[in-house]
């Protein structure tokens, strides 16, 4: 199992500088991580640093709360794709979900997937704020909306991913939608546990540590 091929090398701090973004991208190229994931305002910069590499570029949308309007999410997604993003990691509207406005939540996801076309859409459901039945329902909505991935966490919630979260998600989506686990995954042993459950991508800022342990 080549763990590097599962990793989205991530830097989403509000204070992330040009130097830090450059370093992130250089690390992703060196260690052959699958993708780099950064905030949408850093798309042009990251795209330039990743030029002529095989590393994909993911932009966060409506991050980290998911509470921005559909219109603003669409503009942000369109701008990110035009500036070089291959993938979009959007945050589901948790308030609408908690209100039981499931159709509106699904329509939002579908609208963003339609707007970005063949580019990959990952939907963050922020499992920290959901009970088990809500995790299942959110996963179902993401699947029915046509997204490519359902993702556990932003890394900015009260907790990150858990193995139980992923088990619930996998039971709902099966092989119809891929799963990305993120938040608190910092070592190779933990990463392998998630992959064994069927996770296709790991979002982490600890990719180098994971790879270093894996190579020993």
Q: How many Cα atoms are found within 13 Å in the side-chain-facing hemisphere of 90?
A: 35
Would you tell me the crossing angle of helices 102-116 and 70-82 to the nearest 10 degrees?
A: 20
Strand ranges in 49-146 using DSSP code E only, listed in sequence order: 56-61, 87-91, 120-124
180 assigned to active site: yes
Catalytically annotated residue among 8, 137, 151, 165: 151
3-state helix, strand, coil in the chain (%, to 5): 50, 20, 35
Decide if 151 is catalytic. yes
**Under 8 Å between Cβ of 37 and 80:** no
Question: Active site residue: 8, 89, 148, 165, which one?
Answer: 89
Question: Cα(165)–Cα(62) distance, rounded to whole angstroms?
Answer: 22
Residue 8 appears among annotated catalytic residues: no
DSSP state, residue 151: E
CA distance 24 to 22: 5
Q: Under a CB-based contact definition with an 8 Å cutoff, are residues 182 and 150 in contact? A: no
Q: Give the whole-angstrom CA distance, residue 207 versus residue 8.
A: 8
Catalytic positions, written as ranges: 89, 151, 180
């Amino acid at each position: 199992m080549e763990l590097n091929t599962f990793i989205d090398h991530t830097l989403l701090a509000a204070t992330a500088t040009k130097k830090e973004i450059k370093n992130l991208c250089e690390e992703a190229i060196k260690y052959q991580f699958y993708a780099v994931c950064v905030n949408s305002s850093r798309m042009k910069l990251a795209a330039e640093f990743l030029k002529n590499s095989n590393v994909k570029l993911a932009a966060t949308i409506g991050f980290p709360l998911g509470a921005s309007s559909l219109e603003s999410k669409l503009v942000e997604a369109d701008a990110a794709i035009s500036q070089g993003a291959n993938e979009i990691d959007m945050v589901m509207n948790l308030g609408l979900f908690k209100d039981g406005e499931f159709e509106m939540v699904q329509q939002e996801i579908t609208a963003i997937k339609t707007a970005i076309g063949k580019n990959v859409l990952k939907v963050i459901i922020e499992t920290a704020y959901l009970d088990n039945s809500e995790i299942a329902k959110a996963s179902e909505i993401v699947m029915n909306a046509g997204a490519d991935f359902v993702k556990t966490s932003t890394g900015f919630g009260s907790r990150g991913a858990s193995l139980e979260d992923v088990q619930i998600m996998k039971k709902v989506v099966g092989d119809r939608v891929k799963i990305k686990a993120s938040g608190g995954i910092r070592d190779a042993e933990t990463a392998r546990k998630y992959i064994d459950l069927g996770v296709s991508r790991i979002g982490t800022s600890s990719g180098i540590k994971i790879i270093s342990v894996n190579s020993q």
